Amino acid sequence: MVTDIIKDLYRKEFARLVAVFSNKIGLGDIQLAEDLVGATFLEASQRWERDGIPDNPSAWLYKVALNNARQHFRRNKIYKRKLSDLAPGENTDTLPDPDFSPAAVFDSQLKMLFAVCNPAIASEAQIALALRVLCGFTIEEIARAFFTGKDTINKRLFRAKEKLRDLQLRLEMPPADQIAGRLDNVLHIIYLLFNEGYYSSSHDAILRKHLCSEALSLCGMLAANPETNTPKTNALIALICFHSSRIETRISPTNELILYDDQDSGQWDKQLISKGIQYLETAATGDELSSYHLEAGIAFFNSQPGDTGEKWLQILHHYDLLLQINYTPATVLNRIYALYKTEGAAAALKEMADLPPTNHFYYTLKGQLHEETNPEESFICYQMALNTCQTASERRIIGTKIHTLQQKTALNR
């Protein structure tokens, strides 16, 4: 009981406390802020097991965290260094207490979001740091999300925090004339964070959902601030909402990936779809057409049940525009699939003729396009996809395609 409550509070309050303390003592001491908050949760775990859970656990955490901070500064040299920043005549017996009001917490978290997503920090380290200090993920959870060890994550975090110290950044919003440029990087990191959850092949379904919900929460923080509530911000929120509406039907009870055509559209989250539509309409108020707008548009059509030609024509049109803005091999393959749904396999294969092989998605798509007219070639493509696939879940899907093809054509190799 106590352990479950601590875990839930850790997810909700860790990042808020770290942000507020970092805002008070400086971004260069972010590790100290983490240590103070971590000690508070450890104390909560020990005392609540002994004395019982307080009536207001969150308030208890904030009070004890503040007391821990006061004690730390009184007995360490850093206290004197911080006091030197006070104006002459100010009280030097106590360090001014952090402000834990909702407005101050929000302000601190928003500033932290921009600090963490500084382009001077390597992208992977930015994501790890965002998961740690903005989302309250443990080192173990971050390691699982990245399919790597705790030592690797600790090294990334150490380098990122060292960079923050070297840059001598203050925990503050960028100047008004720099927000737009910095916002692009913040949105990109949130986009990568969401993809880490939505497209991850991790077997931890709860972790994947947490990643997606945290990305949505961070975007909501940007939308709540007038300076960062831009059309692109709203487009990214719409994109996340549309994709998240299908997340429960995308993974089976046994943690197997369920392909789009096999998902139960009746179980898609209609409330999230409706929310996505509202944000997409808000995003349309600007004069910029970003990749987030187009990807959100594609995700909207994919959140609508049915397999009509009109639906796939709209998706194909969005992919045509997206390739002009952000050309990637994955977008090319997705566009070819949309072409197949609108004009048939022959037209799609013609598009693939000069396309170099990239990954197992390439071979899987080519195998599907050859199924009806050239089953032998289809079989070869699926075998190539099987050989180049990295995850067990996707190998099982490709294996099922091979088995179905053999049954249909009596092909036996």
- Which pLDDT does position 412 carry in this prediction? 47
- Last residue of one domain, picked from the residues 207, 229, 251: 229
Q: pLDDT tens track of the chain, all 413 residues?
A: 778 888 888 888 898 899 988 888 888 888 888 999 999 999 999 999 998 999 899 889 988 988 888 888 777 655 555 545 544 444 444 455 677 888 888 999 999 999 888 888 888 888 889 888 888 888 988 888 777 899 999 999 999 888 888 887 778 888 888 898 889 999 999 998 898 888 866 666 776 788 899 899 999 999 999 999 999 999 999 999 999 999 888 888 777 778 888 888 999 999 999 999 999 999 999 888 999 999 999 999 999 988 888 999 999 999 999 999 999 999 999 999 999 999 999 999 999 998 999 889 999 999 999 998 999 999 999 999 999 987 787 888 899 999 999 888 864 45
Residue-wise over 253-279: b if at least 16 C-beta within 10 A, else e?
A: eeeeeeeeeebeeeebbeebbebbbeb
172 and 265 inside one domain: no
The domain boundary, picked from 100, 125, 152, lies at 100
To 10 degrees, what angle do helices 205-223 and 231-244 make? 160
Return the pLDDT at 199: 80
Domain count, the chain: 5
72, 189: one domain: no
For residues 225 and 128, state if they share a domain.
yes
DSSP per-residue letters across 233-281: HHHHHHHHHHHHTTHHHHB-TTS-B--GGGS-GGGS-HHHHHHHHHHHH
Give CA–CA dist 137/11, Å, rounded: 7
CB 283 within 8 A of CB 231: yes
Domain around 407: 357-413
Same-domain status, 41 and 126: no
pLDDT score of 229: 96
| Shared-domain flag, residues 225 and 159 | yes
143 and 160 assigned to the same domain:
yes
